[in-house]
A and B are shown apart, each in its own frame.
Chain A
Amino acid sequence: MQDELFAARDLTIALPGSQGSMIRIVENLSFSLAPREILGIVGESGSGKSMTALAIMGLIDVPGARITGSMLFKGQELVGLGARALRRLRGREIAMIFQDPMTALTPVHTIGWQIDEQIRAHESLSRAGARARTIDLLGEMGVPDPRRAADRYPHQLSGGLRQRAMIAMALSCNPSLLIADEPTTALDVTVQAQILDLLRRLRHNFGSSVLLITHDMGVVAETCDRTLVLYAGNVAERGPTGDIFAHPGHPYARALLASIPPLHGVRPSRLLSIPGQPPSPAERPAGCPFRPRCPQAHAQCEQTPPMVRRGEQDIACVLAAPEPVQA
């Protein structure tokens, strides 16, 4: 693997709970991201996906939050970095886009104005110069008639166009890492495909790596080079997307994939669902967090599961065989 753009090692995020206890939202998370790579982080709501993204950005402003472990970005340690230094990284080096571009854009300004501002916040450029860049960017994002679109307010644009504007704003300073937090959840399926297509093209046009956070396995399959399956703040499985979809090693990943309705053949009368609910971060069981819902749970699962390496996959399950099993 070529040298890493970003690497998280044993990242743990803990928020203060009631009576002075610390609740570990994300535990011992490790992953790395190569330049121009798209890494998908999949997990249910509450699995700690968005918290991870906010931690990378240094945007967790809950008083008393504790972030431990290490996050290296281009060789620079982000954990414990000062607010000012982090701010300088944000936008220029790491940018983030959000789920709902309606609420992520200021309602009182035109989108062109907002992108101009973003450019001018990082570079000393005249208003006209910034606007020219804005129009170029919007054009590259596939916004039809970008000159006119720049003069519109967020509420006058469709969801897809708003998300394109949001991405244009995020890319305005050529960040090397783009964090996309559920960028297509608020969009309908055809627009979703277009936006994912756009994200895939970014690495060629802008040389950016993308950290794609989603709960949608379909989005992952379509877009990501590698995938990280997160369950209750812990890594369940990580590896190349193709391998995970072909032969998932962790029972959770297997169950997730089995719950996608098949496109071909006989449709089951009932879709498979995983019994139970993910544990809340405060009452996570010791050992494997998936144990209470796992069909194959046994006594050994009460200890923290080892990371089993199988080909290029890492699987946090004692049952994972080192060699792929033919399904």
Chain B
Amino acid sequence: MSATHPATRRSGPWTTAMTTLLRDRAAMIALAGLLLIIAACVLAPVYAEDIAHTDPFQSDVAATVMVHGQELAVMQPNDNPLHLGLTPLAPTWHPSAYLLGADSQGRDVMARLLYGGRNSLLISAAATVLCILMAAFVGIVSGFFGGVVDAALSRLMDIMWAIPVYLFAISLSIVTISQGLRIGPFTIRSDNLLLPIGIIALVYVPYAARPIRGRVLTLRRSEFVLAARGLGVPRGRILLRDILPNVSSTLIVLAPLLMALAMLAESALSFLSIGVQAPAASWGTIIQDGQGLIYTRPMVAIAPGLAIVLTVLALNILGDGLRDALDVRETSRRRG
């Protein structure tokens, strides 16, 4: 490559990656879908108050609603021969009232779906950030310093990884859900979202720390680190200036994939009612609400399920796109 190639002028590895990503149609569609889902969830109060005129956290089994000029009871008499109980309203497909029907407490499923999405997205995003921070710390420290530190941290990761992720998360949740978590003078109440965030972040640390450690190991042996040491650069500075920026691509690629995993874990915990606590919603809790209605009103469980599937799919496609775009090793080793 010539030194004064006009097309590559001032285009660093980040710019190059960005260009590649922007050209990746699947990743862009996934990103657009993801942004749409996030925007919809962020605007949940607007939908609930101004469009559907409903309170998604208030159960109201006696309410009625006007749909297509007809007044309908939210909880309708059952048509089974025994006339036991009531069946919630079916999806009306009318955005101003019970678009996706009502759940067993007469609440608007669509509004709850949007509110639940806020929690699901918030928890999985926060857990991802926290997990990556912890994993980066563990991976970089053990990869860079090696020796006893590496051995100790790696074995700890192995032990954590030996316990199935969900089992680990469930046991931690059960322990903390009953009384909250007390750390010295601070108590985190059991309905605090920090609990599921922390638990999910913790159980995925080994998953993320391993590739980071591997990358740091190769970087530490790389010639530019040797060169930096040959020029008398202190270790801390090498870590900060040479290792960290080169690891950051690994971190970025890991992020969406981890977020997909975190979202699944969050849904699972909430489905088992050891994640997000009522009356707050998450996609997992809504699926649980819909569990009892699966034969009569399947939409209550299908809608949040679909939301999870779409979000996880989009995150995975985006992650693949990022990985292709950020493969620094492939693009930077072209020789001149």
Which A residues form the contact surface with B (CB < 8 A)? 57, 59, 87-92, 95-98, 100, 102-110, 117-118, 121-122, 149, 151-159, 161-162, 166, 169-170, 173, 179, 186
Contacts and interface: CB of A to CB of B under 8 A. Distances in A.
Given A105-B224, A156-B8, A88 B332 contact: no
A110 B1 CA distance: 16
Nearest to A157: B3
Interface in B181-238: 222-224, 226-234, 237
B69 interface: no
A166 B1 contact: no
Q: Which residue among B8, B13, B226, B227 has the maximum number of chain A CB atoms within 10 Å of its CB?
A: B227
B226 A59 contact: yes
A160 B195 CA distance: 56
A98 B334 contact: no
Given A103-B222, A149-B3, A156-B9, A91 B232 contact: yes
A2 to B, nearest CB: 27
Given A102-B335, A151-B10, A158 B231 contact: no
A87 B234 contact: yes
Given A98-B230, A118-B233, A155-B331, 15 more contacts: A57-B229, A57-B230, A90-B231, A90-B232, A91-B233, A92-B232, A96-B231, A98-B223, A108-B328, A121-B233, A121-B237, A153-B11, A153-B13, A159-B336, A161-B3
Contacts of B224: 103-107
Contacts of A122: 232
A107 B332 contact: yes
A155 B3 contact: no
B246 interface: yes
Contacts of B8: 156
Contacts of A186: 335
A154 B332 contact: yes
A156 B2 CA distance: 7
A121 B245 contact: no
A206 B245 CA distance: 32
Interface string B1-40: 1110100111111100000000000000000000000000
B58 to A, nearest CB: 53
A89 B229 CA distance: 11
Q: Contact size class for B?
A: 35 or more
B267 to A, nearest CB: 36
A106 B233 CA distance: 13
Contacts, number: 114
A108 B227 contact: no
Given A117-B241, A156-B8, A105 B336 contact: no
Contacts of A170: 230-231
10 contacts: A57-B229, A90-B229, A91-B232, A106-B224, A106-B241, A106-B245, A107-B224, A118-B233, A154-B332, A179-B230
A158 B3 contact: yes
Given A95-B230, A103-B223, A105-B227, A155 B334 contact: yes
Shortest 6 CB-CB distances between A and B: which pairs? Answer: A91-B232, A90-B232, A96-B230, A107-B332, A103-B223, A104-B227
Contact of A108 (B5, B12, B223, B232): B12
Q: Which residue among B5, B12, B231 has the maximum number of chain A CB atoms within 10 Å of its CB?
A: B231
B324 interface: no
Q: Which residue among A90, A106, A154, A186 has the maximum number of chain B CB atoms within 10 Å of its CB?
A: A106
Interface string B79-111: 000000000000000000000000000000000
B242 interface: yes
Given A106-B246, A107-B13, A155-B336, A118 B231 contact: yes
